[in-house]
Amino acid sequence: MRQAVILCGGKGTRLGADFSHLPKPLVPVDGIPLLDRILGVAAEAGIKEVILAAGHLGHLIAERYQAVNPWRLNIRTHVEKTPLGTAGCLLEISDQLDEHFALLYGDIFLDFDLAGLIRRHETFLPDATVLVRQSDHPADSDLVDVDLATGEVRAFLPKATRDPAGLYRNCGNAAVYCCSRRLLAAVPQGRPSDIATDVFPALLAEGGRIRACWLEDTGYVKDVGTPARLVEVERYWRRRQLARAAAAAPRRVRAVILDRDGVIVENREPLAEVAHMTFLPGALEGLRLMNEDGLACFVATNQPWIARGLLTEEQMTAVHGQLLTAVNQAGGGIRAIAHSPYHPETHHGEGIPGLRRASECRKPRPGMLFALMEEHGFLPDETVMVGDSPADITAGKNAGVRTVLIRPASAGGSLETIASMADATVEDLQSAAAVIRTWSR
Protein backbone atom coordinates (compact mmCIF):
# COMPACT_ATOMS: atom_id res chain seq x y z
CA MET A 1 0.00 0.00 0.00
CA ARG A 2 1.51 3.29 -1.08
CA GLN A 3 -1.36 5.79 -0.79
CA ALA A 4 -3.08 7.54 2.10
CA VAL A 5 -6.08 9.86 2.19
CA ILE A 6 -6.10 12.22 5.16
CA LEU A 7 -9.44 13.84 6.02
CA CYS A 8 -8.71 17.48 6.88
CA GLY A 9 -12.13 19.12 6.96
CA GLY A 10 -12.47 19.70 10.71
CA LYS A 11 -13.13 23.24 11.99
CA GLY A 12 -11.86 22.66 15.53
CA THR A 13 -14.55 24.84 17.12
CA ARG A 14 -14.26 22.98 20.45
CA LEU A 15 -10.60 24.01 20.70
CA GLY A 16 -11.66 27.60 21.23
CA ALA A 17 -10.71 31.04 19.93
CA ASP A 18 -6.96 30.52 20.26
CA PHE A 19 -6.99 28.29 17.18
CA SER A 20 -9.92 29.73 15.22
CA HIS A 21 -7.55 31.10 12.56
CA LEU A 22 -6.31 27.59 11.73
CA PRO A 23 -7.85 24.49 10.18
CA LYS A 24 -7.95 21.85 12.87
CA PRO A 25 -5.18 19.66 11.35
CA LEU A 26 -2.72 22.56 11.60
CA VAL A 27 -3.21 23.04 15.36
CA PRO A 28 0.26 22.70 16.92
CA VAL A 29 1.02 19.76 19.19
CA ASP A 30 4.04 20.67 21.30
CA GLY A 31 4.97 23.24 18.68
CA ILE A 32 4.54 21.11 15.55
CA PRO A 33 1.34 21.06 13.42
CA LEU A 34 -0.65 17.88 14.04
CA LEU A 35 -0.82 17.15 10.31
CA ASP A 36 2.98 17.28 10.08
CA ARG A 37 3.13 14.53 12.68
CA ILE A 38 0.55 12.41 10.83
CA LEU A 39 2.45 12.77 7.56
CA GLY A 40 5.60 11.63 9.35
CA VAL A 41 3.86 8.49 10.61
CA ALA A 42 2.54 7.79 7.10
CA ALA A 43 5.97 8.20 5.53
CA GLU A 44 7.57 5.95 8.14
CA ALA A 45 4.99 3.25 7.28
CA GLY A 46 6.02 3.31 3.62
CA ILE A 47 3.32 5.59 2.22
CA LYS A 48 4.52 7.47 -0.89
CA GLU A 49 1.45 9.45 -1.97
CA VAL A 50 -0.97 11.47 0.15
CA ILE A 51 -4.26 13.15 -0.79
CA LEU A 52 -5.30 15.80 1.73
CA ALA A 53 -9.11 16.05 1.61
CA ALA A 54 -9.60 19.56 2.99
CA GLY A 55 -12.55 21.80 3.69
CA HIS A 56 -12.58 24.63 6.24
CA LEU A 57 -9.60 26.95 5.52
CA GLY A 58 -8.35 24.32 3.12
CA HIS A 59 -6.27 26.85 1.21
CA LEU A 60 -3.99 27.13 4.25
CA ILE A 61 -3.39 23.40 4.15
CA ALA A 62 -2.67 23.50 0.42
CA GLU A 63 -0.26 26.40 0.80
CA ARG A 64 1.67 24.80 3.66
CA TYR A 65 2.33 21.50 1.93
CA GLN A 66 3.30 23.12 -1.33
CA ALA A 67 6.16 24.66 0.65
CA VAL A 68 6.80 22.08 3.41
CA ASN A 69 7.53 18.45 2.58
CA PRO A 70 10.58 17.04 4.39
CA TRP A 71 9.09 13.53 4.02
CA ARG A 72 9.43 13.67 0.19
CA LEU A 73 5.85 12.53 -0.22
CA ASN A 74 3.75 13.17 -3.30
CA ILE A 75 1.18 15.44 -1.62
CA ARG A 76 -1.97 16.70 -3.33
CA THR A 77 -4.69 18.78 -1.69
CA HIS A 78 -8.35 18.55 -2.68
CA VAL A 79 -10.54 21.33 -1.25
CA GLU A 80 -14.22 20.39 -1.34
CA LYS A 81 -16.65 23.15 -2.27
CA THR A 82 -19.52 21.72 -0.21
CA PRO A 83 -19.02 19.73 3.02
CA LEU A 84 -19.77 16.09 2.26
CA GLY A 85 -18.74 14.41 5.50
CA THR A 86 -15.96 11.91 6.01
CA ALA A 87 -17.20 9.60 3.25
CA GLY A 88 -18.74 11.89 0.62
CA CYS A 89 -15.43 13.50 -0.23
CA LEU A 90 -14.08 10.09 -1.32
CA LEU A 91 -16.44 10.13 -4.31
CA GLU A 92 -15.01 13.49 -5.42
CA ILE A 93 -11.49 12.02 -5.54
CA SER A 94 -12.48 8.50 -6.60
CA ASP A 95 -10.55 8.75 -9.88
CA GLN A 96 -7.34 9.37 -7.88
CA LEU A 97 -7.67 6.45 -5.47
CA ASP A 98 -5.54 3.31 -5.59
CA GLU A 99 -7.16 -0.11 -5.24
CA HIS A 100 -6.19 -0.06 -1.55
CA PHE A 101 -5.37 3.00 0.54
CA ALA A 102 -5.00 4.13 4.15
CA LEU A 103 -7.71 6.47 5.42
CA LEU A 104 -6.61 8.75 8.27
CA TYR A 105 -8.13 11.71 10.10
CA GLY A 106 -6.22 14.97 10.24
CA ASP A 107 -7.34 15.70 13.81
CA ILE A 108 -6.15 12.44 15.40
CA PHE A 109 -2.68 12.18 16.90
CA LEU A 110 -0.95 8.97 15.84
CA ASP A 111 1.99 7.16 17.41
CA PHE A 112 1.56 3.52 16.51
CA ASP A 113 2.59 0.82 14.04
CA LEU A 114 0.73 1.95 10.92
CA ALA A 115 2.88 -0.40 8.84
CA GLY A 116 1.55 -3.30 10.92
CA LEU A 117 -2.05 -2.27 10.21
CA ILE A 118 -1.24 -2.09 6.51
CA ARG A 119 0.34 -5.56 6.58
CA ARG A 120 -2.74 -6.94 8.32
CA HIS A 121 -4.99 -5.44 5.63
CA GLU A 122 -2.82 -6.74 2.80
CA THR A 123 -2.85 -10.25 4.31
CA PHE A 124 -6.65 -10.58 4.24
CA LEU A 125 -7.64 -7.90 1.66
CA PRO A 126 -11.10 -7.20 3.08
CA ASP A 127 -13.19 -4.21 2.06
CA ALA A 128 -11.77 -2.38 5.06
CA THR A 129 -9.61 -2.94 8.13
CA VAL A 130 -10.48 -0.93 11.25
CA LEU A 131 -8.06 -0.13 14.05
CA VAL A 132 -9.77 -0.80 17.41
CA ARG A 133 -8.74 -0.35 21.03
CA GLN A 134 -10.17 -0.32 24.54
CA SER A 135 -11.59 3.16 25.08
CA ASP A 136 -10.98 5.40 28.08
CA HIS A 137 -14.51 6.80 27.64
CA PRO A 138 -16.56 3.82 26.38
CA ALA A 139 -19.94 5.22 27.40
CA ASP A 140 -19.74 7.96 24.77
CA SER A 141 -17.46 6.29 22.23
CA ASP A 142 -18.42 4.65 18.95
CA LEU A 143 -17.94 0.92 19.54
CA VAL A 144 -17.36 -2.03 17.21
CA ASP A 145 -18.77 -5.53 17.58
CA VAL A 146 -15.92 -7.88 16.65
CA ASP A 147 -15.82 -11.67 16.49
CA LEU A 148 -12.78 -12.16 18.74
CA ALA A 149 -12.07 -15.61 17.28
CA THR A 150 -11.86 -14.48 13.64
CA GLY A 151 -11.27 -10.72 13.77
CA GLU A 152 -14.31 -10.11 11.55
CA VAL A 153 -16.44 -7.05 12.32
CA ARG A 154 -20.09 -7.94 12.87
CA ALA A 155 -21.54 -4.47 13.48
CA PHE A 156 -20.78 -0.84 14.26
CA LEU A 157 -22.39 0.55 17.39
CA PRO A 158 -22.51 4.36 17.37
CA LYS A 159 -23.13 5.87 20.79
CA ALA A 160 -26.35 7.51 19.54
CA THR A 161 -27.95 4.17 18.61
CA ARG A 162 -26.98 2.02 21.60
CA ASP A 163 -29.35 1.04 24.38
CA PRO A 164 -28.32 3.18 27.40
CA ALA A 165 -28.98 0.19 29.66
CA GLY A 166 -27.16 -2.30 27.42
CA LEU A 167 -23.84 -4.01 28.12
CA TYR A 168 -21.32 -3.71 25.31
CA ARG A 169 -17.74 -4.92 25.03
CA ASN A 170 -15.22 -2.08 25.25
CA CYS A 171 -13.98 -2.24 21.67
CA GLY A 172 -13.68 1.34 20.48
CA ASN A 173 -13.29 2.55 16.91
CA ALA A 174 -9.92 4.33 16.76
CA ALA A 175 -10.87 5.97 13.41
CA VAL A 176 -7.83 4.68 11.51
CA TYR A 177 -8.61 2.56 8.46
CA CYS A 178 -7.19 0.70 5.50
CA CYS A 179 -9.72 0.57 2.68
CA SER A 180 -10.46 -1.00 -0.65
CA ARG A 181 -12.03 0.96 -3.49
CA ARG A 182 -14.91 -1.51 -3.20
CA LEU A 183 -16.31 0.47 -0.29
CA LEU A 184 -17.04 3.40 -2.62
CA ALA A 185 -20.12 1.53 -3.84
CA ALA A 186 -21.62 1.97 -0.36
CA VAL A 187 -21.09 5.75 -0.27
CA PRO A 188 -24.41 7.55 -0.94
CA GLN A 189 -24.44 9.94 -3.88
CA GLY A 190 -25.09 13.65 -3.58
CA ARG A 191 -25.33 14.04 0.19
CA PRO A 192 -23.00 14.16 3.20
CA SER A 193 -22.20 10.81 4.79
CA ASP A 194 -19.95 9.37 7.45
CA ILE A 195 -17.57 6.42 7.08
CA ALA A 196 -18.35 4.77 10.43
CA THR A 197 -22.06 5.50 10.79
CA ASP A 198 -23.19 5.28 7.15
CA VAL A 199 -20.75 3.52 4.85
CA PHE A 200 -19.39 0.69 7.00
CA PRO A 201 -22.86 -0.49 8.19
CA ALA A 202 -24.16 -0.35 4.60
CA LEU A 203 -21.13 -2.32 3.45
CA LEU A 204 -21.76 -5.05 6.03
CA ALA A 205 -25.46 -5.15 5.13
CA GLU A 206 -24.50 -5.82 1.51
CA GLY A 207 -22.25 -8.75 2.47
CA GLY A 208 -18.98 -6.84 2.56
CA ARG A 209 -16.08 -7.86 4.79
CA ILE A 210 -14.52 -5.61 7.41
CA ARG A 211 -11.80 -6.82 9.76
CA ALA A 212 -10.53 -5.41 13.04
CA CYS A 213 -6.92 -4.91 14.10
CA TRP A 214 -6.22 -4.19 17.78
CA LEU A 215 -3.94 -1.29 18.68
CA GLU A 216 -0.72 -2.66 20.13
CA ASP A 217 0.15 -2.03 23.79
CA THR A 218 2.94 0.33 22.77
CA GLY A 219 0.72 2.38 20.45
CA TYR A 220 -1.15 5.62 21.11
CA VAL A 221 -4.02 7.16 19.13
CA LYS A 222 -5.94 10.18 20.43
CA ASP A 223 -8.44 12.67 19.02
CA VAL A 224 -7.17 16.22 19.54
CA GLY A 225 -10.66 17.71 19.68
CA THR A 226 -10.77 19.69 22.91
CA PRO A 227 -8.31 21.76 24.96
CA ALA A 228 -8.16 18.99 27.60
CA ARG A 229 -7.31 16.36 25.00
CA LEU A 230 -4.68 18.60 23.45
CA VAL A 231 -3.03 18.96 26.87
CA GLU A 232 -3.20 15.18 27.33
CA VAL A 233 -1.60 14.51 23.95
CA GLU A 234 1.16 17.03 24.55
CA ARG A 235 1.92 15.43 27.92
CA TYR A 236 2.03 12.01 26.24
CA TRP A 237 4.43 13.29 23.59
CA ARG A 238 6.82 14.90 26.06
CA ARG A 239 6.88 11.70 28.11
CA ARG A 240 7.40 9.66 24.95
CA GLN A 241 10.42 11.76 24.02
CA LEU A 242 11.87 11.26 27.51
CA ALA A 243 11.31 7.51 27.21
CA ARG A 244 13.06 7.27 23.86
CA ALA A 245 16.04 9.27 25.06
CA ALA A 246 16.30 7.17 28.23
CA ALA A 247 16.15 3.86 26.37
CA ALA A 248 18.98 5.04 24.12
CA ALA A 249 21.25 6.27 26.94
CA PRO A 250 20.55 4.77 30.40
CA ARG A 251 22.45 6.14 33.40
CA ARG A 252 23.26 4.93 36.91
CA VAL A 253 20.13 3.65 38.61
CA ARG A 254 18.69 5.78 41.42
CA ALA A 255 15.07 4.58 41.58
CA VAL A 256 13.22 1.26 41.37
CA ILE A 257 9.48 0.83 40.67
CA LEU A 258 8.13 -2.57 41.67
CA ASP A 259 4.94 -4.42 40.92
CA ARG A 260 3.31 -5.71 44.09
CA ASP A 261 1.65 -9.09 43.49
CA GLY A 262 4.05 -11.77 42.32
CA VAL A 263 7.06 -9.56 43.10
CA ILE A 264 6.79 -8.56 46.77
CA VAL A 265 3.83 -10.60 47.99
CA GLU A 266 2.09 -13.73 46.79
CA ASN A 267 -0.39 -13.16 44.01
CA ARG A 268 -3.70 -13.63 45.83
CA GLU A 269 -6.28 -11.65 43.93
CA PRO A 270 -7.99 -9.72 45.31
CA LEU A 271 -5.83 -9.16 48.40
CA ALA A 272 -8.50 -7.70 50.65
CA GLU A 273 -7.34 -8.90 54.10
CA VAL A 274 -4.07 -8.15 55.88
CA ALA A 275 -4.06 -11.70 57.24
CA HIS A 276 -3.87 -13.09 53.71
CA MET A 277 -0.71 -11.16 52.77
CA THR A 278 2.35 -13.38 52.41
CA PHE A 279 5.76 -12.07 51.38
CA LEU A 280 7.55 -13.98 48.66
CA PRO A 281 10.92 -15.61 49.37
CA GLY A 282 13.71 -13.07 48.92
CA ALA A 283 11.34 -10.09 48.75
CA LEU A 284 12.10 -8.43 52.07
CA GLU A 285 15.82 -9.14 51.70
CA GLY A 286 15.78 -7.67 48.21
CA LEU A 287 14.11 -4.50 49.43
CA ARG A 288 16.64 -4.27 52.27
CA LEU A 289 19.53 -4.52 49.81
CA MET A 290 18.03 -1.83 47.56
CA ASN A 291 17.61 0.47 50.55
CA GLU A 292 21.19 -0.25 51.61
CA ASP A 293 22.33 0.77 48.12
CA GLY A 294 20.52 4.09 48.48
CA LEU A 295 17.87 3.34 45.88
CA ALA A 296 14.46 5.00 46.09
CA CYS A 297 11.81 2.26 45.90
CA PHE A 298 8.19 2.66 44.81
CA VAL A 299 5.29 0.32 44.06
CA ALA A 300 2.96 0.55 41.02
CA THR A 301 0.15 -1.99 41.12
CA ASN A 302 -2.93 -2.67 39.00
CA GLN A 303 -5.92 -3.24 41.27
CA PRO A 304 -8.83 -3.85 38.85
CA TRP A 305 -10.71 -5.53 41.71
CA ILE A 306 -11.74 -2.05 42.85
CA ALA A 307 -13.49 -1.41 39.52
CA ARG A 308 -15.09 -4.84 39.77
CA GLY A 309 -16.48 -4.11 43.24
CA LEU A 310 -14.45 -6.93 44.82
CA LEU A 311 -12.04 -4.70 46.77
CA THR A 312 -12.48 -1.35 48.49
CA GLU A 313 -9.98 1.47 48.70
CA GLU A 314 -10.11 1.10 52.50
CA GLN A 315 -9.22 -2.60 52.36
CA MET A 316 -6.34 -1.92 49.99
CA THR A 317 -5.05 0.92 52.18
CA ALA A 318 -5.02 -1.36 55.22
CA VAL A 319 -3.01 -3.99 53.32
CA HIS A 320 -0.56 -1.37 52.12
CA GLY A 321 -0.12 -0.01 55.63
CA GLN A 322 0.88 -3.44 56.90
CA LEU A 323 3.13 -3.99 53.88
CA LEU A 324 5.02 -0.73 54.53
CA THR A 325 5.42 -1.58 58.22
CA ALA A 326 6.85 -5.03 57.47
CA VAL A 327 9.24 -3.68 54.84
CA ASN A 328 10.50 -0.97 57.22
CA GLN A 329 11.01 -3.50 60.03
CA ALA A 330 13.08 -5.65 57.67
CA GLY A 331 15.37 -2.70 56.81
CA GLY A 332 13.82 -1.78 53.50
CA GLY A 333 11.94 1.30 52.44
CA ILE A 334 9.09 2.07 50.06
CA ARG A 335 8.52 5.77 49.47
CA ALA A 336 5.11 5.58 47.82
CA ILE A 337 2.57 3.12 46.45
CA ALA A 338 0.60 4.02 43.32
CA HIS A 339 -2.37 1.94 42.20
CA SER A 340 -4.70 1.79 39.22
CA PRO A 341 -8.32 1.00 40.13
CA TYR A 342 -9.46 0.65 36.49
CA HIS A 343 -10.72 -2.35 34.58
CA PRO A 344 -11.20 -1.86 30.82
CA GLU A 345 -13.96 -4.41 30.23
CA THR A 346 -17.47 -3.00 30.21
CA HIS A 347 -19.75 -5.90 29.30
CA HIS A 348 -20.02 -7.73 32.63
CA GLY A 349 -22.32 -5.33 34.47
CA GLU A 350 -20.48 -5.51 37.77
CA GLY A 351 -18.67 -3.03 39.97
CA ILE A 352 -18.21 0.72 39.52
CA PRO A 353 -19.17 1.95 36.02
CA GLY A 354 -16.92 5.02 36.15
CA LEU A 355 -13.86 2.81 36.66
CA ARG A 356 -14.74 0.33 33.89
CA ARG A 357 -12.56 1.86 31.22
CA ALA A 358 -9.06 1.91 29.79
CA SER A 359 -6.58 4.31 31.38
CA GLU A 360 -3.06 5.58 30.79
CA CYS A 361 -2.55 4.79 34.49
CA ARG A 362 -3.17 1.06 34.04
CA LYS A 363 -0.21 -1.09 33.06
CA PRO A 364 0.88 -1.85 30.32
CA ARG A 365 0.35 1.89 29.78
CA PRO A 366 3.11 3.88 31.53
CA GLY A 367 1.05 6.54 33.31
CA MET A 368 1.63 5.25 36.86
CA LEU A 369 5.37 5.00 36.28
CA PHE A 370 5.64 8.52 34.91
CA ALA A 371 3.46 9.91 37.72
CA LEU A 372 5.77 8.39 40.35
CA MET A 373 8.92 9.61 38.61
CA GLU A 374 7.57 13.12 38.10
CA GLU A 375 6.27 13.48 41.65
CA HIS A 376 9.50 12.30 43.26
CA GLY A 377 12.05 13.86 40.91
CA PHE A 378 13.46 10.92 38.95
CA LEU A 379 13.97 10.43 35.21
CA PRO A 380 13.41 7.31 33.12
CA ASP A 381 17.11 6.92 32.35
CA GLU A 382 17.86 6.37 36.06
CA THR A 383 14.85 4.17 36.89
CA VAL A 384 14.15 0.41 36.75
CA MET A 385 10.81 -1.44 36.63
CA VAL A 386 10.63 -4.87 38.33
CA GLY A 387 7.62 -7.03 37.51
CA ASP A 388 6.40 -10.56 36.89
CA SER A 389 4.03 -10.08 33.95
CA PRO A 390 3.96 -8.90 30.33
CA ALA A 391 2.02 -5.81 31.47
CA ASP A 392 4.82 -4.83 33.86
CA ILE A 393 7.60 -5.22 31.33
CA THR A 394 5.67 -3.48 28.55
CA ALA A 395 4.85 -0.59 30.91
CA GLY A 396 8.54 -0.28 31.66
CA LYS A 397 9.43 -0.26 27.97
CA ASN A 398 6.71 2.33 27.29
CA ALA A 399 8.28 4.51 30.00
CA GLY A 400 11.83 4.03 28.68
CA VAL A 401 13.12 2.47 31.91
CA ARG A 402 15.20 -0.68 32.26
CA THR A 403 13.21 -3.77 33.21
CA VAL A 404 13.75 -6.85 35.36
CA LEU A 405 11.37 -9.80 35.01
CA ILE A 406 10.81 -12.04 38.01
CA ARG A 407 9.86 -15.35 36.50
CA PRO A 408 7.15 -17.18 38.47
CA ALA A 409 8.21 -20.70 39.45
CA SER A 410 5.23 -22.18 37.58
CA ALA A 411 5.62 -20.08 34.41
CA GLY A 412 7.57 -22.63 32.37
CA GLY A 413 7.99 -21.34 28.84
CA SER A 414 4.93 -19.08 28.92
CA LEU A 415 6.99 -15.92 29.52
CA GLU A 416 9.70 -16.54 26.94
CA THR A 417 8.58 -13.74 24.63
CA ILE A 418 8.36 -11.13 27.37
CA ALA A 419 11.60 -12.39 28.95
CA SER A 420 13.35 -11.57 25.69
CA MET A 421 12.10 -7.99 26.04
CA ALA A 422 13.32 -7.58 29.64
CA ASP A 423 16.83 -6.35 30.38
CA ALA A 424 17.25 -9.11 32.96
CA THR A 425 15.31 -12.17 34.16
CA VAL A 426 15.68 -13.48 37.71
CA GLU A 427 13.99 -15.82 40.18
CA ASP A 428 13.19 -13.43 43.04
CA LEU A 429 13.54 -9.87 44.30
CA GLN A 430 16.81 -10.60 46.10
CA SER A 431 18.34 -11.65 42.77
CA ALA A 432 16.82 -8.54 41.16
CA ALA A 433 18.55 -6.37 43.77
CA ALA A 434 21.89 -7.94 42.83
CA VAL A 435 21.35 -7.16 39.15
CA ILE A 436 20.26 -3.59 39.84
CA ARG A 437 23.32 -3.10 42.07
CA THR A 438 25.52 -3.58 39.01
CA TRP A 439 23.51 -0.87 37.18
CA SER A 440 23.70 1.57 40.11
CA ARG A 441 27.46 1.79 40.36
pLDDT tens digits, 316-325: 999 999 999 9
Residues of the chain with CATH 3.90.550.10: 3-227
Q: Are 390 and 415 in contact (CB under 8 A)?
A: yes
Domain 3-227 in this protein, CATH class: alpha beta
The pLDDT value recorded for residue 96 is 97
Confidence (pLDDT) at 12? 61
Pairwise CA distance, residues 196 & 213, whole Å: 15
pLDDT of res. 417: 76
Residue-averaged pLDDT of the chain: 94
Q: What is the pLDDT of residue 412?
A: 55
CATH entry, 250-439, from 2.70.70.10, 3.30.565.10, 3.40.50.1000, 2.40.37.10:
3.40.50.1000
Q: Give the list of residues 6+ apart from residue 112 with CB closer than 8 angstroms, or none.
A: 41, 131, 176, 215, 216, 218, 219, 220, 221
Q: Pick the catalytic residue from 127, 259, 388, 392.
A: 259
Q: Is 145 one of the annotated active-site residues of the chain?
A: no
Grouping H, G, I as helix, E, B as strand and the rest as coil, residue 28 is strand
CA-closest candidate to residue 393, choices 407, 372, 373: 407
Question: Which residue among 107, 127, 142, 261 is the active-site one?
Answer: 261
CA contacts within 13 A on the Cβ side of 131: 27
Q: Find all residues with CB under 8 Å of 303, minimum gap 6, and list them.
A: 270, 311, 316, 339, 340, 341
pLDDT digits (tens, 9 = 90+) for 102-122: 999 999 999 999 999 999 999
- Domain(s) labelled CATH 3.40.50.1000 in the chain stretch across 250-439
* Integer Cα distance of 314 and 87 in angstroms: 50
The candidate with the shortest Cα–Cα distance to 376, out of 260, 298, 301, 433, is: 298
Over the chain (441 residues), the average pLDDT of each successive run of 10 is 93 69 92 97 98 92 96 96 89 96 97 98 98 95 96 95 91 97 94 94 96 97 92 97 97 98 93 95 98 98 97 97 98 98 94 96 98 98 97 97 87 70 96 96 83
Radius of gyration (C-alpha) of the chain in whole angstroms: 24
The whole-number pLDDT of residue 413 equals 56
CA–CA dist 115, 267 (Å, integer): 38
**pLDDT at site 165:** 84
Say whether 146 sits in a helix, a strand or coil: strand
SS3 (DSSP) at 81: coil
Question: Beta strands 402-406 and 424-426: pairing type?
Answer: parallel
> Which DSSP symbol is given to 410?
T
261 is annotated as an active-site residue? yes
404 CB-near residues (< 8 Å, 6+ apart): 384, 385, 386, 387, 422, 423, 424, 425, 426, 432, 435, 436
Q: What is the pLDDT of residue 399?
A: 98
pTM: 0.94
pLDDT attached to residue 411: 57
Q: Are 145 and 169 in contact (CB under 8 A)?
A: yes
